[in-house]
A and B are shown apart, each in its own frame.
Chain A
Amino acid sequence: MKPVITLLRSLLRQTVRNRQGLFWTLFFPVVLMVVFSLLGNTKSQVSLAVVTSRSTSAGVVRIMEKSPLFHVRTMGRRAALAAVRSGRMDAALLVPAAPRARTTTLALRYNPANSLSAQQAVGAVQALVAQADLMLSGRPPLFRVRATPLVHARASTYLDFLLPGVLALMTMQNSLFGIGSGLTRWKEKGILRRFRVTPLQPLQFLGAAIMNYLLVGLASSAIIIGFATGLLHASVDIPLGPVTLVLLLGMGCFLAFGFIVAGVSRSQEATIPIINLISFPMMFLSGVFFPISSLPKILTHIVDYFPLTYVSGALRGLMSGQLTWHDAAFRGDLLGMAVWLVLGGAVAARVWRWE
């Protein structure tokens, strides 16, 4: 056991001292999440240009200004329409002069090019106008909605969706590149040969190498989770036991694939295209960046069995609070990963070469 621990410590030192390697391990996920959290956090306020005339009923405008839903700016008609066209304001509300008829028509002009904020604007204005109507008319409402936030519910942002995907992606990339590329390098440079003329057993070496990648993988996952929840305010569940298990199983699968790659390729350069061939389809299809349900039906029948699909599915289920130990779907994901691990491990054991 002593040699394994000393070797593991050496490998960890080697990893921590490889500043460039560490940087690229964490850089990509961090940039992904920062970019998407800036893009994806839809702003909660509708910017509304209100165009009034001198005799406008001030009530509607005052209610709009008080509502947290709106960022209201009063401006002239032409300026308002120009602002909507250019996208600077979400919508312009044209409030006519004091009502003559029983129903006053408020004209809402919006820019259909930006469909999301347009929908938001139209909906919010309609709701508020209805409310204002009631309040101003002084009639008791027939219905009232009492909104109570649920304890476990949350406004799920894209970042919350992305985080488990990014963790799954890291699991794949680090394991594949770590073993596939790192081990091939050691093999090429003769580091593995050097250990073969010592009493160190091959399995001891492999054990230490695998433990090294698992520990590094768990640590970098923890850093990314900490970054996403602490700095970017992702709100996700982290059930420690199940999440760790999924990460370990996932890494196990991809380490096995990494061994296969290192076994079949003769040089370090040759490993890169093979790794890309394995990882690219999964990176884009296995629910890392968008849900699998948005893929064409035929494709999902295949993608459902990809190892990364199991990892991202299980992590997303756990982190969104939709899956627990007891769910059949979660056990299905675990089983899927276990099958890949066994298959990959069996092939790896056959093709792995020390020289």
Chain B
Amino acid sequence: MSGKALRLEGLTKRYGAVTAVDQLNLNIPPGIIFGLLGPNGAGKTTTLEMTEGLRRPDEGRVWLGEVDLIRHPAEAKRRFGVQLQTSAFFELLTVKETLELFQSLYSHPLRVGDLVGRMDLEEKRNARVDGLSGGQRQRLALAVALVNDPEVVFLDEPSAGLDPQARRNLWEVIVGLKAEGRTVVLTTHYMDEAEMLADRLAIMDHGRVLDEGAPRELIERHLPAAVIEVDRSTGIGTDTNLPALVRIEEREEVMALVTQHLEDTLTGLVAWASQHGRQLTGLKTRSATLEDVFLELTGRSLRE
């Protein structure tokens, strides 16, 4: 793989009064797994579609190395491999026929044997698409995305609807793509997936990038220490004052105390409980996760 950086400059897309993507800038170095993390409606898919050439941005440029892909969309189509959020293929064709059909669209395609081998579809080579399971369809969609030996692979919510085993297999495949020197750009709203796979992450909401960096970096930058959780029945309010506390959040069943210094806050909490005669039921401490970063940045949960 030659390795060219992918740059999005000031990408903007408006639908009437709604700005779906707003002056978005991203610099994606070659050969990494780049994650776009955000809730539904954050503008991840629109961003991906403008980059892939499916949608024309109202403003902005997309560069692959020195090539302006908005001006030369054919280049994007030649060099990119795309897995759409809903990938449908002709139901009555076999896996092999489907791959052959997509091979015919490119000048230097990979061989069918390699593709089915890598995606573990050998047994299903002559099975019709309508007889494939969800996981097998997903692997076929990935195989089709790789047919043209692409430099950049776009995966839009690749693990949506997969069972845990299939997700793990998919992650292995994605890591394998990086090992071959390809750049992988994926969207997800699964924290663990983003944390596990992505070398770099951009957290998006309302069409903007809120922050960008390696997953650990983002956590450290926004949440230096930890989270203490106690049951709501404890009666602690969001306005309770404790040492080293960043803030207190009401989550579904628990109160989450986000802190910069775990020991100080914990000591304070114990003192508060004995002073007010309360039991600290369900007390639990953990280090901050991307979920907490996300809440910190957007004020809302990823699955909202």
Residues of A near any B CB (own CB < 8 A): 2-3, 5-7, 10-11, 13-14, 17-18, 186, 189-191, 193-194, 196-200
On whether the beta carbons of B52 and A197 are closer than 8 Å, the reply is yes
Interchain CA distance A197-B55 in the complex, whole Å = 10
Whole-angstrom distance between the Cβ of A23 and the nearest chain B Cβ: 15
Interchain CA distance A17-B53 in the complex, whole Å = 33
Closest A residue to B88 using CB positions: A189
With A3-B105, A190-B84 known as contacts, the answer to whether A14 contacts B92 (CB < 8 A) is yes
B22-56 CB contact bits vs A (8 Å, 1 = yes)? 00000000000000000000000000000011100
Kindly list chain B residues whose C-beta atoms are within 8 Å of the C-beta of A194. 84, 87-89, 144
On whether the beta carbons of A6 and B101 are closer than 8 Å, the reply is yes
Residues of B near any A CB (own CB < 8 A): 52-54, 74, 77-78, 80, 82, 84, 86-93, 97, 100-102, 104-106, 128, 144, 148
On whether the beta carbons of A193 and B101 are closer than 8 Å, the reply is no
On whether the beta carbons of A200 and B84 are closer than 8 Å, the reply is no
Kindly list chain A residues whose C-beta atoms are within 8 Å of the C-beta of B100. 6
On whether the beta carbons of B102 and A190 are closer than 8 Å, the reply is no
Q: Tell me the number of A-to-B contacts counted with CB atoms below 8 Å.
A: 60
Please pick, from B78, B86, B91, B92, the residue contacting A199 in the complex, using a CB distance under 8 A.
Answer: B78
Kindly list chain B residues whose C-beta atoms are within 8 Å of the C-beta of A7. 101, 104
Kindly list chain A residues whose C-beta atoms are within 8 Å of the C-beta of B91. 14
- In order of increasing CB-CB distance, the 3 nearest A-B pairs are A6-B104, A189-B88, A17-B92
Q: Is the interface of B mostly helix, strand, loop or mixed?
A: loop
Interchain CA distance A198-B73 in the complex, whole Å = 10
On whether the beta carbons of A14 and B77 are closer than 8 Å, the reply is no
Interchain CA distance A123-B53 in the complex, whole Å = 79
On whether the beta carbons of A196 and B86 are closer than 8 Å, the reply is no
Kindly list chain B residues whose C-beta atoms are within 8 Å of the C-beta of A18. 92
Interface centre among A11, A194, A200 (most CB of B within 10 A): A194
Closest B residue to A5 using CB positions: B104
Interchain CA distance A10-B100 in the complex, whole Å = 10
Kindly list chain A residues whose C-beta atoms are within 8 Å of the C-beta of B101. 6-7, 10
Closest A residue to B81 using CB positions: A197
On whether the beta carbons of A14 and B102 are closer than 8 Å, the reply is no
Please pick, from A11, A13, A190, A198, the residue contacting B86 in the complex, using a CB distance under 8 A.
Answer: A190
Interchain CA distance A191-B78 in the complex, whole Å = 19
Kindly list chain B residues whose C-beta atoms are within 8 Å of the C-beta of A11. 90
Kindly list chain B residues whose C-beta atoms are within 8 Å of the C-beta of A191. 88-90
Interchain CA distance A199-B84 in the complex, whole Å = 16
Whole-angstrom distance between the Cβ of A139 and the nearest chain B Cβ: 77
Whole-angstrom distance between the Cβ of B157 and the nearest chain A Cβ: 13
Kindly list chain B residues whose C-beta atoms are within 8 Å of the C-beta of A199. 74, 77-78, 105-106
With A6-B100, A10-B97, A190-B84 known as contacts, the answer to whether A198 contacts B105 (CB < 8 A) is yes
Whole-angstrom distance between the Cβ of A148 and the nearest chain B Cβ: 57
Whole-angstrom distance between the Cβ of B45 and the nearest chain A Cβ: 12
Closest B residue to A192 using CB positions: B88
Whole-angstrom distance between the Cβ of A355 and the nearest chain B Cβ: 9
With A197-B82, A199-B78, A199-B105 known as contacts, the answer to whether A10 contacts B90 (CB < 8 A) is yes
Interchain CA distance A190-B89 in the complex, whole Å = 8
Interchain CA distance A3-B104 in the complex, whole Å = 5
Interchain CA distance A36-B89 in the complex, whole Å = 41
Interchain CA distance A196-B52 in the complex, whole Å = 10
Whole-angstrom distance between the Cβ of B296 and the nearest chain A Cβ: 35
Interchain CA distance A2-B101 in the complex, whole Å = 10
Kindly list chain A residues whose C-beta atoms are within 8 Å of the C-beta of B93. 10, 13-14
Closest B residue to A188 using CB positions: B88
Kindly list chain A residues whose C-beta atoms are within 8 Å of the C-beta of B97. 10, 13
Kindly list chain A residues whose C-beta atoms are within 8 Å of the C-beta of B78. 199
Interchain CA distance A190-B141 in the complex, whole Å = 12
Please pick, from B80, B86, B92, the residue contacting A197 in the complex, using a CB distance under 8 A.
Answer: B80
On whether the beta carbons of B88 and A197 are closer than 8 Å, the reply is no
With A193-B54, A194-B84, A194-B87 known as contacts, the answer to whether A13 contacts B92 (CB < 8 A) is yes
On whether the beta carbons of A196 and B92 are closer than 8 Å, the reply is no
Whole-angstrom distance between the Cβ of A63 and the nearest chain B Cβ: 66
On whether the beta carbons of A198 and B88 are closer than 8 Å, the reply is no
Whole-angstrom distance between the Cβ of B272 and the nearest chain A Cβ: 55
On whether the beta carbons of A190 and B90 are closer than 8 Å, the reply is no
Interchain CA distance A17-B91 in the complex, whole Å = 10
Interchain CA distance A199-B102 in the complex, whole Å = 10
Interchain CA distance A189-B102 in the complex, whole Å = 17
Kindly list chain A residues whose C-beta atoms are within 8 Å of the C-beta of B144. 194
With A6-B104, A13-B97, A17-B92 known as contacts, the answer to whether A198 contacts B77 (CB < 8 A) is yes
Can you list 14 A-B pairs with a CB-CB distance of less than 8 A?
A2-B104, A6-B104, A7-B101, A13-B93, A14-B90, A17-B92, A194-B84, A194-B87, A196-B54, A197-B53, A197-B77, A197-B82, A199-B78, A199-B105
